Amino acid sequence: MIKYLYNPPIFIKKIFHKWIWNTSNDKILLTFDDGPIPETTPLILSALDKLRIKAAFFCVGNNIDKNPELAKEILSCGHEIGNHTYNHKIITQLNRAAAVNEIKSFINLTECKLDYKPKYFRPPHGRFNFMTDKIVTGLKQSVVMWSLLAYDYKNDLNLVKFVVTKFLKKNSIIVLHDSMKSREIILDSINMIMEQAAENGFEIGEPAECLK
């Protein structure tokens, strides 16, 4: 079914039932993958500040390593930083030791450079398996997936509009991207989500309350 392109199948959610797929408080949560980078992160932070919205940024370790001040700004603005691995490698293509290293290296980096220990993990490209579950459990990370993939990285605002108009729910965890692929449409995408949420009477939540 077409909806599974945007919202993962129920049977997958049941198998990985300990993972977070929707918000727990019937409020929408915005999440941004792949940053931080100078070209997009400041734009997103400025937009969120104007809208008084707090979001979760699932950052890539080597981007934090290259742009530590941007990562610090994300935190100083009151947003959450989540673990999106150090090198954005597909976890399912790695052996266990390499997968552990990708996730653990991110944790070590944020503790060292940001004095911050991430609570949440999201696998790159949404690819995972049972080994992923065992590793993140062992590292005491909670997995946050999503219930609405906006496809903003396709750089097609009409596609984002279709997705948001048709599939936005009051408890959606939305994936957007803090990357060059979405730079041209990211601000319009955020505004479109806000307009659609307001039209439906949906509220926007913060990571701490949405991910309980």
CA gap 83, 5 in Å, rounded: 23
* Residue that has been written with the tokens 């984002």 in this structure: 160
pLDDT tier at 49 (50, 70, 90 boundaries)?
very high
Q: Determine what percent of the chain is predicted with pLDDT higher than 70.
A: 99
pTM score: 0.97
Write the CA distances from 38 to 76, 132, 143, integer angstroms: 16, 30, 27
Write the CA distances from 121 to 59, 103, 150, 189, integer angstroms: 10, 8, 19, 24
> What string of DSSP letters covers 112-164?
HHTS----EE--GGG---HHHHHHHHHTT-EEB--SEE--GGG--HHHHHHHH
- Active-site residues, by number, are 33, 177
Q: Per the omega criterion (within 30 degrees of 0), is the bond before 123 cis?
A: no
CA gap 180, 152 in Å, rounded: 11
pLDDT digits 0-9 by tens, 11-23? 999 999 999 999 9
Q: Determine what percent of the chain is predicted with pLDDT higher than 90.
A: 97
Q: Which phi and psi angles does 166 have, rounded to 5°?
A: -90, -30
Average pLDDT, the chain: 97
Evaluate if residue 4 carries a pLDDT over 80.
Answer: no
**Across 166-184, average pLDDT:** 98
pLDDT tier at 94 (50, 70, 90 boundaries)?
very high
CA gap 81, 145 in Å, rounded: 14
The CB density around residue 149, as the number of other CB atoms within 10 Å, is 19
Domains of the chain are 11-210 (3.20.20.370)
